[in-house]
Chains A and B, each alone.
Chain A
Amino acid sequence: MQPVEHLHLKHVLQTVCVLEAVVLRSFGPEGGQVLFTRDTGQAMLSRSGTRILTALRLEHPLARMVVECVRKHSTVTGDGSKTFILLLASLLRMIHTMACKEPNVYHTYNSRAAAEAATARRLADELLAFALEELDDLIAVRVVPYGLCVSWKDITAKSQSPAYTNCHYAQKLLASFFHTRLGHTHCDFISNLTCELLRHWKFKNDLPSSTLQFVNDNFPALHTPVLGFPISCSRLIEGQVIHRDFATPCPQTDCQPVKAVVFTGYLQQKLLSAGNVLKVGRGGQEMEANSKKEKSIVEFSAWSERSLECVIANLQRLGVSVLLSAVKQTAAVLSLAAQAEMCVVECISKDELSLFAHLSGTTPVSDCWMIEPVNVATLTFCRPILLGVHRYVHVAFHDLEERVKPCSLVICGPGEGQTDQHACAFQDAIRMLLTTCRPMVHQPSSRVRWSQAVLYLLVGHLSFS
């Protein structure tokens, strides 16, 4: 066995053709699903080209590079990874055929392989130049007149409204996308759900792409996967779902509004943290004349508890009843909070806390000695919610200025693999809409980016040989 030192054109072609054979059977609305299983019994079901390709075990450097290109492409566009591979394979085949048919200039090159490689490189360069200079105009003149323009209003308009007659085109766009991802049974339902989600999150006086960008960036915090239910049980819930449970019993209070504070650090000073040195003395009554008064560990923990009591008293004065923490608080904090009838939620992820801070218009507390009113969020309610087998925290925001109706998406599926597939399909649909609605003036269009990616790959690798 010899390692692939010189990458010949036929190796490039063979690698991409193998990847094409892998995704070909899942392509299109009638395409099949691929079921991946691990030794642990975990199963993943997918029709998405990116998921299938990234799940393969590939050590071949060119194959890994192609899969990385596909992944990056899919991160931006949300769709089209199988198409990418099919078009790449087709281009390479054509270049290979043309390079082999071209007369071999024996007197210039050492071997037939070198001659073929040079021809192929020249063809790839010409293709790249065509894509950069002429493809845009060609599409604008020959393709766009046969297409449809889908605007933001179409996506977010209610379907009953007679004014927007184009809205069913937008529904069709989403429905066909979900058809290729999830099958034909539920594609309409899911596309309606997506439009409803976007309608709720429409920021006033903002560009549509910023709404889509916001939903795309915060999607992990905006959706909750729930296992064990059919997909038709997916729905929207108002407010935000924080994917943690209460650490202290939640008091059943009906008083509104509920005040909450977000902490990013520890309320109680840690006794010993990494890198610090705590000098502890013997303490006690007897002291020498010139020595400093040394404190013992007992006195130190008594002091830290007193300071904690001050913090809790401060919070009580501000009327706070919910503490949201990014880290795990100590047992003393939990017991004091429970005594003061405050509920604590710990170990919340950074994304969810930043979303919470954004929606409530507050800033998290970094120093627990300085708790200002600007750190206090006002909520309509904060109560537990049971979704599937998990109990989460459900909050609703009070009096938002931008008239946004925040809502969270509950995505159901019979098993873990399918629920994961549904959630990925949702996120890819948002990305696909984002690419579609993005203004084309200032940024290079996605099709040029695609063709650039393809041809950099080709030119880069044909220069190996």
Chain B
Amino acid sequence: MALNGDDEDFAWEPPTEAEMKVIQARRERQDKISKLMGDYLLKGYKMLGECCDVCGTILLQDRQQKNYCVSCQELDSDIDKDNPALNAQAALSQVRERQLAAQSPAPSQAPELSGGPSSSSQASVSVPRPEHCEGAAAGGRAPPLPPPVPSPSPPASTTTLAPTRPPVCPQSTALQPVLQEAEDAVLTKLRWATTQLQSSASLEASIQLCSLIASCANSLRSLKELSQ
């Protein structure tokens, strides 16, 4: 079978190793989805003629007429871990990248990064590497903030956090809004996970939700340490 037609007039490069890994990961994920859906069909679920809005997987319906998307509700998303709004490590990676990109062209621009009334001694504060965010000791910290209150009172925690954020925080202005965004996103996810946990009836889902809550709390703690 001829794969290349006659009307192709440009060069085709084979996929790079990174792309191959992505393709392989995607294929494994699709196989997992198919296997799970097959198991559910054998358990008596109905396969609908509709697709999920979020991920495009075919929807299943159980005996209680409740729709179920296998990839959204059971498998971890394969793109969430790269989204800085949802993952602390991704947020810190993004911050670090920006820092490096800002520092590399002109070191003379470094003092302008700090901005604000704070002393320039903190201008080149090193952003801890994402792997070390959990216990990073960055010098010259402000007095520690009260520990973030975990659920079930997430709205209370946002109100307590906002006023206690010291305005004299010796951070660069490029870092501050990113951290704020990351914190808000983590709190939202924490809130969502709590409500899901309260209404969840499945053991697996509850275990996964609890681990999500634990990782949200850890992320919040590390974001707090960063903003000090």
Indicate whether A262 reaches chain B with its CB closer than 8 angstroms: no
Q: Verify B1–A59 contact, CB threshold 8 A.
A: no
- Which residues of chain B in 20-63 are interfacial with respect to chain A, using CB atoms and an 8 Å cutoff? 23, 30-31, 33-35, 37-39, 41-42, 44-53, 56-59
* Contact A21 B34, CB 8 Å, known A4-B51, A59-B47, A63-B47: yes
Interface flags, B109-131, vs A, CB<8A=1, else 0:
00000000000000000000000
Contact A18 B51 (CB under 8 A): no
B-side contacts of A61, CB under 8 Å: 49
A311, B35: Cα distance in complex, Å: 67
Give min CB distance, B36 to chain A, whole Å.
8
20 contacts between A and B (CB under 8 A): A1-B51, A3-B49, A4-B50, A4-B51, A11-B56, A14-B30, A17-B34, A18-B38, A18-B47, A18-B58, A21-B39, A56-B47, A57-B41, A57-B47, A59-B47, A60-B49, A60-B58, A103-B8, A103-B10, A126-B1
Instruction: Tell me the total A-B contact number using a CB cutoff of 8 A.
Output: 85
Contacts of A127 in B (CB 8 A): 1
Known: A14-B57, A17-B30. A56 touches B41 (CB 8 A): yes
Among candidates B8, B38, B47, residue contacting A60 with C-beta atoms closer than 8 Å: B47
* A1-B51, A21-B37 known; A58+B46 contact, CB < 8 A: yes
Question: B100 on the interface (CB 8 Å rule)?
Answer: no
Interface check B94, CB cutoff 8 A = no
Shortest Cβ distance from A428 into chain B, in angstroms? 22
- The contact size tier of chain B is 35 or more
- Contact residues in A for B57 (Cβ distance below 8 Å): 14
Chain A residues with Cβ below 8 Å from B2 are 126
User: Does B15 make an interface contact (CB < 8 A)?
Assistant: yes
* Given A22-B41, A57-B44, A59-B46, A17-B31 contact (CB < 8 Å): yes
Interface of B, secondary structure class, is mixed
What chain A residues lie within 8 Å of B8 (beta carbons)?
103, 105
Q: Are B41 and A101 interface neighbours, CB within 8 A?
A: no
**Which residue of the partner chain, among A4, A15, A21, contacts B35 with CB atoms under 8 Å?**
A21
Interfacial chain B residues near A58, Cβ < 8 Å: 41, 46-47
Is B106 at the interface (CB under 8 A from chain A)? no
* B1/A11 in contact, CB under 8 A: no
Which of chain A's residues have a CB closer than 8 A to the CB of B23? 100
A2 at interface, CB cutoff 8 A: yes
A24-B59 Cα distance, complex, nearest whole Å: 21
B3 beta carbon closer than 8 Å to chain A:
yes
A193 in the interface (beta carbon within 8 A) = no
Using an 8 Å CB-CB cutoff, how does the interface string of A1-21 with B read, 1 for contact, 0 for none?
111100000110111011111
Q: Is A456 an interface residue (CB 8 A)?
A: no
- Chain A residues contacting B52 (CB-CB under 8 Å) are 1
What 12 new A-B contacts, CB under 8 Å, besides A1-B48, A24-B38, A59-B49? A1-B53, A1-B59, A2-B53, A11-B56, A14-B34, A15-B58, A20-B34, A21-B35, A22-B41, A56-B42, A60-B58, A105-B8
Chain A proximity of B174: nearest CB distance (Å) = 35
Q: CB distance A123 to B1 under 8 Å?
A: yes
Complex-state Cα separation, A344 to B228, whole angstroms = 99
Chain A CB within 8 A of B67 CB:
yes
B76 to chain A, nearest CB (A): 19
Question: How many Å from the CB of B75 to the closest CB on chain A?
Answer: 14
A4 to B59, CA, bound (A): 11
- The answer to whether A98 and B47 have CB atoms under 8 Å apart is no
User: Inside 8 A of B58's CB, which chain A residues have their CB?
Assistant: 11, 14-15, 18, 60
Chain A CB within 10 Å — which of B1, B44, B47, B50 has the most?
A: B47
Q: Mark A95-110, 1 if CB is under 8 A from B, else 0.
A: 0001011110100000
Asked if A34 CB lies within 8 Å of chain B CBs, one says yes
With the chains together, A34 CA to B47 CA distance in Å?
18
A11 and B51 in contact (CB under 8 A), knowing A22-B42, A57-B45? yes
Closest residue of chain B to A38 (Cβ to Cβ) is: B44
* In the bound complex, CA of A4 to CA of B57 (Å): 11
Answer whether residue A130 sits at the interface, using C-beta atoms and an 8 A cutoff: yes
The CB with the most chain A CB atoms within 10 A, among B2, B10, B45, B58, is that of B58
A102 pairs with B3, CB closer than 8 A: yes
- Return chain A residues, CB-CB under 8 Å to B38: 18-22, 24
A119 CB to closest chain B CB, in angstroms? Answer: 9
- Docked complex Cα distance between A126 and B1 (Å): 7
How many angstroms from the CA of A22 to the CA of B46 in the assembled complex? 13
Residues of B within 8 Å of A10, CB to CB, are 56
How many Å lie between the Cα of A102 and that of B7 in the bound state?
Answer: 13
A123 and B67 CA atoms in complex are apart in Å by: 35
Residue contact A57 to B33, C-beta cutoff 8 Å: no
User: Quick one: closest B residue to A21, CB to CB?
Assistant: B38
Roughly how many angstroms separate A130 CA and B41 CA in the complex, as a whole number? 35
In the complex, A61→B3 CA distance in Å?
Answer: 30
Contacting pair A130 B1 (CB below 8 A):
yes
Residue pair B47, A101 in contact (C-beta under 8 Å): no
A18 touches B41 (CB 8 A): yes
Residues of A with C-beta under 8 A to B7: 105
Q: Is the CB of B3 within 8 A of A98?
A: yes
Closest chain B CB from A129 CB (angstroms): 9
* Chain B residues within 8 Å of A101, by CB: 15
Closest to A100 in B: B23
Most B CB atoms within 10 A — which of A14, A15, A101? Answer: A14
